[in-house]
Amino acid sequence: MKLSQGNYTKLLAILISVILITGGATSCKSKKKLAREKAAAEYAAKVEQAKKDLTAIINGTTSWTIDQQSDKVNQIKSYNIDDSEVIEMIKKAEAKIALDIAESERLAEEERLKLLEEEKRKKEASKYTEIDKQLKSISTSSTIDAANKKIMLSMDQFASPDVPVLIIISQSGGFNDYDRPTTISKFLHYLKDKQQYKYQVESLKKDKLGKITELELIKK
């Protein structure tokens, strides 16, 4: 049976339409598959990178600051990764950051107190400048008689000739190591004989009359 020219043209048009529709559907399916594969690959890469970053934070091997570490963990959490290992690592990383923050605050407070103590010590030391000058003056006297006169004047500040003199020879960890104790009378005559004053008044105690009852020096 012969097809007329018109029928042939219609049949050809139908065949072309079928081919185009089939090809389009196949192409659409391929694009969706590629999109799924791409999304899966991106997710896997994100999970892998998250594990690396979290491991570095947990092990303390990253150069990030504490704030940067916290930002990184929050960023990873925003991904909503459904991976049990990542979820557990996030908890560990947050715990590590919390410990680091606490340690940083402890060190900062320790440094603050240290600076306050140093400032206090300097203020205390400045209060004793005049006594330091008197003691140094005894050691630099030009004659023995001049030194003896200065010793007599200095003794008026002390409750008795037997007032203890404590000499710090070293300091470490908030503890003092002392030389053998002596008395103010012996110490002043020692300065006269040695003709040098290599000390600084660290602290002193006074009685109700304002007389010195204990003198603490530090060796310079």
**pLDDT per residue over 185-205, tens digit each?**
999 999 999 999 999 999 999
pLDDT at 63: 93
For strand 175-178 and strand 164-172, is the pairing parallel, antiparallel, or unpaired? Answer: antiparallel
Q: What is the mean pLDDT of residues 127-140?
A: 94
Number of Cβ within 10 Å of residue 93's Cβ equals 22
Average the pLDDT over 154-178 and give the result: 94
pLDDT for residue 32 is more than 90: no
Assigned token pair, 107:
């060190």
Handedness of CA 22, 23, 29, 32 (dihedral sign): negative
pLDDT of residue 35: 78
Where b means 16+ CB within 10 Å and e means fewer, 19-46 reads eeeeeeeeeeeeeeeeeeeeeeeeeeee
Burial class (CB in 10 A: 0-12, 13-18, 19+), 176: middle
> Which pLDDT does position 41 carry in this prediction?
87
> Six-digit token pair at 10?
């219609």
Instruction: Provide mean pLDDT across the span 62-79.
Output: 95
Confidence of residue 145 (pLDDT cuts 50, 70, 90): very high
- Pair 202, 125: CB distance under 8 Å: yes
121 assigned to some structural domain: yes
12 within domain boundaries: no
Q: Domain containing 103: what range?
A: 64-127
Instruction: Let me know if residue 120 belongs to a domain.
Output: yes
Mean pLDDT of the chain: 89
Same domain, 135 and 106: no
Give the single-character DSSP code of 4.
P
Rounded Cα distance, 173 and 105, in Å: 20
Is residue 217 within 8 A of residue 163, CB to CB? The reply is no
95 with 177, same domain: the answer is no
User: Is 184 among the domain residues?
Assistant: yes
Q: Quickly state the pLDDT bin for 126 (edges 50, 70, 90).
A: confident
pTM over 0.75: no
Strand partners, 164: 183
174 and 123 both lie in a single domain: no
- Residue 135: other Cβ atoms inside 10 A: 22
* Domain match, 98 and 133 both: no
Q: Which of 127, 154, 171 is the last residue of a domain?
A: 127
